[in-house]
Chains A and B, each alone.
Chain A
Amino acid sequence: MSTLLDIQDLAINFKTRSGDVHAVDGVSFQLEAGKVLGIAGESGCGKTTTALSIPRLLPSNARLVRGHILFDGVDLMQFSEGEIEKIRWKQISMVFQGAMNALNPVKTIGAQIIEPIVWHEPAIARGDANQRVLELLERVGIPAARARSYPHEFSGGMRQRVMIAMALACRPKLIISDEPVTALDVMIQAQILNLLKDLQKQMNLAMIFISHDLSVIAESCDEIAIMYAGKLVERGSIRKVFSQPAHPYTQALIRSFPNIYGKQELIHGIPGYPPNLIHPPTGCRFHERCDRCIDICAQSEPVLREVGEGQIAACHRIGETLP
């Protein structure tokens, strides 16, 4: 298997009036072609920032502090604006949050799906492009006749299907889905997840799947990366991380969700709030909320180390026997 995406030591700041927000700090991960990586973590931990940095779509107040994003072996950060535009959608497309207003309200969905096709493949015949739009719609379960409808004429779930059809339009290698099912109701969530999974398998797509809902990730991903306050705290295969979570934050996250494999359990929230990212805490960023915190946690930052086969975590207390 070949590595499609290799993110190395990514660090991103946002400039604001009150100071620099250290939104992502030292995140690394790899993704192989055809695999699905889930990114989980509480709100504000930098999931969207990480995702948007890959096709370089961050807002203008964002700054790349360090790091490389290798896609098919080349560093996207070195590309000119014109070069990255050629990568966007053609190679890396996105599915945004279901409730978001990600479709243009004054254009038909057909026009919006065909737009990237004719833009990235100028040689394509209009008829072929139209044909592809209809096929895509069919694939995501929307009657072809609805290509002439406007976004407001669809339900939330249907809009998300449109979004997925659009993401597939240029046959990309990588799809980044940022909370694709959040804010949809549960029945619809399951449908959309199944659709995404099926398409991913059929087309052998690589996918990054962002969600703050661990159960959603457990169902759809091969690997998982857990982020906390801009840091990657744990990474590994779904099976490993869920059965033997190494980082206290991962453990707390798993505890705070209903048991995905078994019966519903009591939901424990994690006490406290994520820290301010303008002045992040010293040492381990989680230490203030950690129930296993010791002196060193507030002083030195833990590094990621191997805790099992293909599983890494950043915690000073790894290796000690669990209480």
Chain B
Amino acid sequence: MLRFGLVLKKAVQVIITLFAVITFNFLLFRVLPGDPIRLIARAGNLSPEAISRLRDLFGLDKPLVTQYFYYLRNLFTGEFGMSYTYRRPVIDILQERIANTVILLAAATVIVVLIGVAAGVIAAARRGSKTDQSLVVTSLVFWSLPTFWTGLILVILLGVYVKAFPVSGITTPGASFDSSFARLLDLGKHLVLPTITLAIVDMGQFMLITRSTLVDVLTEDYILTGKAKGLPFRRVLWGHAVPNALLPIITTTALYVSLVIGGAIQVETVFSWPGMGRLMYDAVLRRDYPILEASFLFLAATVILANFLSDIMYMVIDPRVKEA
């Protein structure tokens, strides 16, 4: 069962890492590029009152250390400042966007994990065969594809020439739906191309990791024991090899979260998907620093938490994890 002490230790590590990210973020946006007001308060034509309100909020005329504490206080109250392109609180904008990104990532992740792991298992089980070789080559090719370009090519192929799927946005603009099912169907259609793009590019890595882990596991002695017991290979594979390969695969999933976030930025850009990624792209073009700062913090925190979760899952699955 879960070792409480170990979980606690991990949790403390996570909190330290989160603080490190927050501090890193603070320094990056305050210290390095010079005038902090330019970064935080360059909110287009904000009124002088609004600027002075921001100045007070972030303590911009105070020393840096004081600013840091203001910054921490603001973080805990969800205060990320104002976006100067949208002229609205950053936190509100983020909240609107997060759900859309989660939908996209969830759809892609299900496909990536299912197909990636299945392909990896098949390749490892038939190591050295033609099937294995073609799966490895395909994975390496997929791995080499730039996500955004894959998206662009799919737009041309399936959006412009074949016109099979919508290529932009999350709903058909101006459409009205008779039922929630119709609305869902519309969302589903918009989801197809971005999801395929993400899945194609990130699947390769999953397959390669699953394969090499499993190839390793299949040389273990307990695999021979399984065969000696008279179990058919398929049962040895799924009953003994795959459960042992699961642990490294879980670690990969945590790394994958970081990867897929990068993918989401590109895919949302190409398909004008109104999520965090597209938000970042627009913010980059307009140098909307408050948005960039908050988005980065949010994404980094997500990845850190994903790692934490994978550590916990590892402990749940692996009976060997001992009190450290």
Contacts and interface: CB of A to CB of B under 8 A. Distances in A.
B27 interface: no
B229 A101 contact: no
A87 B230 contact: yes
A100 B222 CA distance: 9
A117 to B, nearest CB: 10
B230 A106 contact: no
A189 B243 CA distance: 32
Interface in A77-106: 81-82, 85-90, 93-94, 96, 100-106
A116 interface: yes
Nearest to A88: B230
Interface string A151-164: 01000000000000
* Interface size bracket, B side: 20 to 34
B317 interface: yes
Given A85-B232, A89-B229, A106-B317, A96 B244 contact: no
A238 B240 CA distance: 40
Given A85-B232, A152-B319, A104 B227 contact: no
B231 interface: yes
Contact of B228 (A93, A107, A152): A93
Interface string B212-255: 00000000111011111111100100011001100000000000
A96 B223 CA distance: 12
Interface residues of A, number: 27
A86 B122 CA distance: 25
A55 B244 contact: no
Contact of A105 (B222, B235, B239): B222
Nearest to B239: A115
Nearest to B228: A94
B79 to A, nearest CB: 46
A180 B224 CA distance: 15
A86 B230 CA distance: 6
Contacts of B231: 85, 115-116, 119
Given A152-B319, A152-B320, A107 B232 contact: no
A270 interface: no
A49 to B, nearest CB: 13
A86 B227 CA distance: 11
A158 to B, nearest CB: 16
Interface of A: 55, 57, 81-82, 85-90, 93-94, 96, 100-107, 115-116, 119-120, 150, 152
Interface of B: 220-222, 224-232, 235, 239-240, 243-244, 317-320
15 contacts: A57-B228, A85-B230, A101-B222, A102-B221, A102-B224, A104-B226, A104-B244, A105-B222, A106-B318, A106-B319, A107-B243, A115-B231, A115-B239, A119-B230, A150-B319
